[in-house]
Amino acid sequence: MNTFITAAGVALIGLMLLVLIRAIKGPTVIDRLVAINVIGTKSIVLLLFAGILFGQLEMFVDIALGYGLLNYIVSIAASRYYQHRKSLEPEHSPGGSPVS
């Protein structure tokens, strides 16, 4: 069982690194935000895998729960911010017209 969990965790880390490519080169800010949200959700699963492998699931479940709440709050707060700014360009861009 531990071998399977380790293999699943390594596969999960590889796929998360592929998602990180989108977070680095995403054209707009919202693309990066989506990629970071996916990575944060998968980190919960990775924390549970670490808890199973270390044999201390009681501790890691609480950490995973806190991490999930924090990830949700970050996503909501950042999306509310960009909803009120009505622009995806940086602050010092000339004009500030909404360009994708």
Interface contacts to another protein, rule CB under 8 A: 1, 4-5, 8, 11-12, 15, 18-19, 21-22, 28, 30-31, 33-35, 37-38, 41-42, 44-45, 48-49, 52, 57-58, 61-62, 64-65, 68-69, 72, 75-76, 79-83, 85-88, 98-100
Alpha-helical runs (H) found in 1-100: 2-25, 29-54, 57-85
CB nearer to another protein: give 1 or 94.
1
Q: How far is the CB of 99 from another protein (least distance, A)?
A: 7
Q: How far is the CB of 81 from another protein (least distance, A)?
A: 8
Cα gap 23→39, rounded to integer Å: 9
CB nearer to another protein: give 68 or 92.
68
- Work out the angle between the directed axes of helices 2-25 and 29-54 (0-180°, nearest 10): 160
Place of tokens 């990066």: 32
Per the structure block, which two tokens stand in for 31? 């693309």
Q: How far is the CB of 91 from another protein (least distance, A)?
A: 13
Q: What's the half-sphere exposure (Cβ side, CA atoms, 13 Å) at 25? A: 5
